[in-house]
Amino acid sequence: MKKYCFSFLFLLFSGCYLSAGETAPPARSVIEIWVWGGPSQLETFDPKPKAPKEYNNGYKAIPTNVPGIEISEMLPKLAKHADKYSIIRTMTHRHNGHETASYLMQTGREPGSGKVFPAIGALVAFYKGKNYRGDLPPYVVLTKPKGRFAEEGFLGEKFKPLVTGGNPNAARFSVDGITPPGNLSKNDIAMQFAALEKFDQFGKNAGIPALQQFDSSGKEAYRKMNGSAAKVFDLTQETKEMRERYGRNEFGQACLIARRLVEAGVPYITINAQGWDSHKKHFETMKRKTAEMDQAVAALLEDLAEKKLLLTTIVWWSGEFGRTPKIQWEAPWNGGRNHYANCFSAMIAGGGFKGGKVIGVSDAVAGKVVSRPVAPQDLLGSILERCGIDPDSKFPGFTGVNEPLLPKESKAGRLREIYPEKAEKQKGKK
């Protein structure tokens, strides 16, 4: 009941904001839940309980708190928050290999152009980073790198994400490069820096050009490790209840860190949820993975809404593709699903995007798009647009790049049906 109260308050709040005569403000931050490997649409947001058993293996759909919308029984907690997010059931592209599909879903570009385009995270960091003054880089990845390609593309080193490493569920989340290793006392840390100062005598005052950056980079590093940046990763500052709410596992605690990063103003955060490439033992994998996913994402949406951060924070959830509707029972798969990009699901919430909607209709087995296909650039373009970045504008000042941020939207277009009212109207006038 309490939860509903909060979401009601949130709706009231956002309603007030809009009725004040403004369009919804651009989103400040984006949390990307990258469901790496390709999550099955059937066991998440596009269940097909009426399909034959060789498609659904007997798994059912459950109603959500939005009348008419059903999702998989594997996501019972998210079912209680369907008013906060919209479901896209008709994501579609043509790449069934992880590498090409990831590149496409992350950059909106067909691979093979000869240029490495930046991923959406690097793009948002590039634009939002201009007005961002935090100690942390504008793009943070929890906890392992996506690594399918250079995410910063031709934008360069500066827009490479900070990849935290470490385990947020450990007693102390040690973020490589931000906080000292867990087993060192304050005394040890003070001592080692004092000793470095004393013993590091090579080339002192010799005017060697290559050494000039050494001192300045060291000072900057020292300031960062002792500044506010390090505190963001300190989960002991959260209550025990809050940590439990997200689930005491790596993914759950990464979601909690993501919320703290949003509070710190970081423009783009990716949570790299690995292990969804369920070629074999699909259903065992899904049961395990969806339980963690369900709890953590539901907690994240609820928590952001309670803290009035959901209106300015986009949360999107997708893999590089979905999985084959028909279960492969033959050896060597023995109950697996393969890569499938023709029709798969994504989820998007916050940042002014309307909740409680379903975009697109898939066929009886979630294998084909029946209506309203959504191309990768449509989804990414919508996110950019809600961040106040024009996806049709050109890359500024990169030699040899005379192209817009994203390719032209598809015929069905960006997700305007879930843009906030005023913004939608404005777009309509155009």
Partner 1 sequence: MTLYRTICLFAAVTAFAPLFSQNIYQKAKPPAEISSFDRFLSQTRQSVKITSAPEASDNVMVRRLYLDLLGRVPTPKEALAYIQGKQENKQSVLVKKLLQTEEHAMFMTMRYGDELRIKSEFPINLWPNAAFLYTRTIYDAYRNNLPYDKFASQLILSDGSNFRNGYANFFRAVPKKDSQTIADAAAQFLFGKPLKKLSVKEQKEFIKAFSGIKFKSTREWKEEIVYSVFSPEKDPRHPFMKQVLQKNEFARNGVLRLWKWIFGSDNAAPEIIDHLTEQFRKNNYDQRALLSMICTSSAYRVSSICSGDYQKMTRYGAVYPVRRLDAEVLADSIAQITGRKNSYSSVIPEPFSYYNGRAAAIPDGSVTDQFLLLFGRPSRDTGAAGERKNIITADQRLYLFNSSDLNNRLNQIFRYKLKTEKDKLGALYLLFYSRMPTPAERKSFQEMNKKWKWRLLSRMPWVLLNSKEFLYQH
Within 8 A by CB and 6+ apart from 275, the residues are 36, 37, 285, 289
Q: Judged by CB, which is closer to partner 1: 127, or 173?
A: 173
Cβ atoms of 345 and 44 closer than 8 Å: yes
> How near is the Cβ of 190 to partner 1 at its closest, in Å?
9
Which residues, in sequence order, are bridge partners of residue 139? 268
Q: Which amino acid is at 350?
A: G
Binding site for partner 1 (CB under 8 A): 97-99, 103, 111-112, 114-116, 137, 145, 147-150, 157, 160, 162-163, 165-166, 174-184, 187-188, 191-192, 194-196, 198-203, 206-211, 213-214, 217-218, 220-222, 224-225
Q: Judged by CB, which is closer to partner 1: 230, or 242?
A: 230
Q: Judged by CB, which is closer to partner 1: 127, or 149?
A: 149
Q: Judged by CB, which is closer to partner 1: 48, or 93?
A: 93
Cβ atoms of 354 and 84 closer than 8 Å: no
> How near is the Cβ of 195 to partner 1 at its closest, in Å?
5
Helix axis angle, 376-386 relative to 98-107, nearest 10°? 30
> How near is the Cβ of 100 to partner 1 at its closest, in Å?
8
Q: Judged by CB, which is closer to partner 1: 224, or 416?
A: 224
What is the distance between the alpha carbons of residues 7 and 426, in angstroms, rounded to a whole number?
A: 27
Q: Judged by CB, which is closer to partner 1: 220, or 244?
A: 220
Residue 294 in tokens: 């369900």
Give the residue ranges of DSSP H helices in 138-276.
186-199, 212-226, 228-232, 240-246, 250-263
Q: Judged by CB, which is closer to partner 1: 261, or 366?
A: 261
> How near is the Cβ of 399 to partner 1 at its closest, in Å?
12
> How near is the Cβ of 266 to partner 1 at its closest, in Å?
15
> How near is the Cβ of 171 to partner 1 at its closest, in Å?
12
What is the distance between the alpha carbons of residues 145 and 36, in angstroms, rounded to a whole number?
A: 11
Q: Judged by CB, which is closer to partner 1: 187, or 239?
A: 187
> 10 Å Cβ neighbour count for 399?
6
Cβ atoms of 94 and 341 closer than 8 Å: yes
Strand 339-340, strand 322-323: pairing: antiparallel
What are the φ/ψ torsions at residue 358 (nearest 5 degrees)? Answer: -120, 125
Which residues, in sequence order, are bridge partners of residue 404? 394
What is the distance between the alpha carbons of residues 43 and 277, in angstroms, rounded to a whole number?
A: 13
> How near is the Cβ of 143 to partner 1 at its closest, in Å?
11
> How near is the Cβ of 123 to partner 1 at its closest, in Å?
18
